[in-house]
A and B are shown apart, each in its own frame.
Chain A
Amino acid sequence: MAGPGPSGASGDATYAGLVRPLLLPTWAVVGILMVLPVCLMAVYSFLTKEFRGGVIWDFTLAAYDQFFITRGLFGDEPARIEWTYIGIFWRSIWQAGLATLLCLFIGFPTAWFIATRPARSRGVWLFLITIPYWVNLLIRTVSLKFLIRETGPLNESLMAIGLIDTPLPLVNTNLAVQLGLFYSYLPFMVLPIYAAVERYNFALSEAAADLYASRLATLREVVLPVVKPGIVAGCILVFVPSLGAFLAPDLLGGAKTFMLGSLIDEQFKGSQGNWPFGAAVAMILMTLVMTVLILYARAQARGARR
């Protein structure tokens, strides 16, 4: 899915002598503008905040301390666990997890359906799934908000057909954020599962059917184990960006639906900001994401050896 991997080197080595100059721009740009900044961010998370936004170069653990521990409003009480930020952290995880499950629930049947179409129409179906991914996420989120707001078309039409009497208060709830995440990343679930199902050998299903396996049993015992890599890839592609999502919680949610992305954003806005704390939260988010990705890479390597 992610294009040619490191193993994809062809025997052709016409440009072997030019490898260094050809890769130099990539190394320079990504190295200076991404690797270096992330390292710098790690350093910033251990610095002291300055009150107008910005930092003082004194090393301290204050930012991480603030995330996990509280000593009361005036800092003179005994240290206790600070639940506010851990709560936001936890909410991000379960919102992302739930969005992943929801995407899987809708995405798997869709991917299966598309992969079992005749080869000619498959491309068109797939294209329909891809288009929304390339449409500006901001515009998509605003559109969703427009649709589900209190006086929006969804509530109006539900009331018109008499299904509800009063508008559903959808905006500013966890449900709206959930819906936003689901809607934002749904194509990410369909595409890798599609790639896996397309390679699936349907003779396996036929063999299972011949042996009197029910449809459901065939799906569970035969299909799922084979297409599992696609499902896992899809889940990661939805879960990881959902964790750090900013637009869905910011536009569709409110103060009670805060997620890590909004918490980080807040630290860099205006004079109320706290750069080291923002850097620390970003570090915590990145650690979580990298853990997921490393576990995934390991599982993949194990699968490849088998």
Chain B
Amino acid sequence: MKGVRHYPGFLAMTIICLVVLYAPLAVVAVYSFNGSTSITQWGGVSLRWYGDVFTGPEAGRFGQAAWNSLTIALIASTAATAIATAAALAMIRGGVFRGRQASFALINLPLMVPEIVIAVSTLIFFSTIGLTTGYLTILLAHLTFCIPFAYLPIAARLEGIEGHYEQAARDLYATRAQAFRLILLPLMMPGIVSGWLLAFIISLDDFIITNFVKGAGMETLPTAIFGSVKQGIKPNIMAISTLMLGVSVLFVTAAYLINRKGQKTP
């Protein structure tokens, strides 16, 4: 019975939705291959702006920013994933305990407080305890807001794993540590990997909080791009944007595929 599911015009709305979501990105991606120095005139297909990103006058600045972004994202997402995995074990396999509601609220708090409020409060905190803003403060701030993004896929995965597997291992005289390492951890892996990937992307992409706690002279890729864009959109920015776009799409696709593959096995 197709009739009740079909509403005329809904397909058109869906197309509008996708056009709105993708048109700006597609336009920038196309213009990043523009051979002309002007951002308005089309000068044929060329990779010159991609070359400019790596060897041009701003290459050093963007290179340093990219290095900061990548190392921060790597450390913050790895630490957040470890913390989130422990939290998921307690929340899903800890039975009923006091403070469960509060713990749940705490894990998800970074998702509920507006970003700009997190940014302001974190800056105030670091300034009060006398920690100079820089690499370390960015790292600490990122670690905090990455936790819920890592937690969600891990907890969802753990919820879907039945207790029998560990039970069987324990019945065969495996210690709890062995049952965890040999049975539960491999089963949780798809959730852990996609949690890590999402946390990594969230850290790599953050602008607002980083902008508050980065301090003078310290840049990550988004803050460096923001600084350049304030002077006007230049072609090399479009090339960098397209590269970052590619990285995001790659990571999310990986998270999606790993998660889907994970769902097919137990």
A complexed with B:
yes
Q: Which residues of A contact B (CB under 8 A)?
A: 2-6, 8-16, 18-19, 21-23, 25-27, 29-31, 33-38, 40-41, 44, 54, 106-107, 109-110, 112-114, 116, 123, 125, 127-132, 134-140, 142-147, 149, 151-153, 156, 182-183, 186-187, 190, 202, 205-206, 208-209, 215, 218-219, 240-241, 243-244, 246-247, 251, 260-261, 264-265, 268, 275, 278-279, 282, 285-286, 289, 293
The answer to whether A136 touches B244 (Cβ under 8 A) is yes
The answer to whether A134 touches B208 (Cβ under 8 A) is no
The answer to whether B109 touches A264 (Cβ under 8 A) is no
B86-115 interface bits toward A, Cβ cutoff 8 Å, 1 = contact, 0 = none: 110111111111011101101111111111
Our pick among A29, A109, A145, A146 for the contact of B14 (Cβ within 8 Å) is A109
The answer to whether A19 touches B97 (Cβ under 8 A) is yes
A-B contact pairs, 13 of them (CB 8 A): A2-B152, A3-B151, A4-B92, A18-B90, A19-B94, A21-B86, A38-B117, A131-B248, A135-B249, A140-B24, A142-B233, A146-B27, A186-B17
The answer to whether A13 touches B94 (Cβ under 8 A) is yes
Chain A residues lying within 8 Å of B225, measured Cβ to Cβ, are 138-139, 142
The answer to whether B7 touches A16 (Cβ under 8 A) is no
Instruction: Kindly state the separation between the CA atoms of A36 and B166 in the bound complex, as whole angstroms.
Output: 38
The answer to whether B14 touches A137 (Cβ under 8 A) is no
Instruction: Kindly state the separation between the CA atoms of A241 and B110 in the bound complex, as whole angstroms.
Output: 12
The answer to whether B233 touches A146 (Cβ under 8 A) is yes
Chain A residues lying within 8 Å of B252, measured Cβ to Cβ, are 130-131, 134
Our pick among B86, B121, B208, B212 for the contact of A25 (Cβ within 8 Å) is B86
* Residues 38-62 of B at the A interface (beta carbon under 8 Å): 39-40
Q: How far is the CB of B228 from chain A (nearest CB, A)?
A: 10
Nearest B residue (CB) for A145? B233
A106 with B20, Cβ < 8 A, contacts A8-B159, A33-B141 known: yes
Chain B residues lying within 8 Å of A144, measured Cβ to Cβ, are 24
Asked whether B172 is an interface residue with its Cβ less than 8 Å from the other chain, the reply is no
Instruction: Kindly state the separation between the CA atoms of A134 and B141 in the bound complex, as whole angstroms.
Output: 19
The answer to whether B104 touches A240 (Cβ under 8 A) is no
Chain A residues lying within 8 Å of B83, measured Cβ to Cβ, are 25-26, 29
Our pick among A14, A109, A153, A244 for the contact of B27 (Cβ within 8 Å) is A153
Chain B residues lying within 8 Å of A19, measured Cβ to Cβ, are 90, 94, 97
Instruction: Kindly state the separation between the CA atoms of A19 and B7 in the bound complex, as whole angstroms.
Output: 50
The answer to whether B109 touches A35 (Cβ under 8 A) is yes
Chain B at the A interface: SS class: helix
Bin chain B's interface residue count. 35 or more
Nearest B residue (CB) for A293? B112
Our pick among A41, A107, A127 for the contact of B256 (Cβ within 8 Å) is A127
Instruction: Kindly state the separation between the CA atoms of A27 and B102 in the bound complex, as whole angstroms.
Output: 10
* Residues 208-260 of B at the A interface (beta carbon under 8 Å): 208, 212, 222, 225-226, 229, 233, 237-238, 241, 244-245, 248-249, 251-252, 256, 260
Instruction: Kindly state the separation between the CA atoms of A14 and B140 in the bound complex, as whole angstroms.
Output: 32
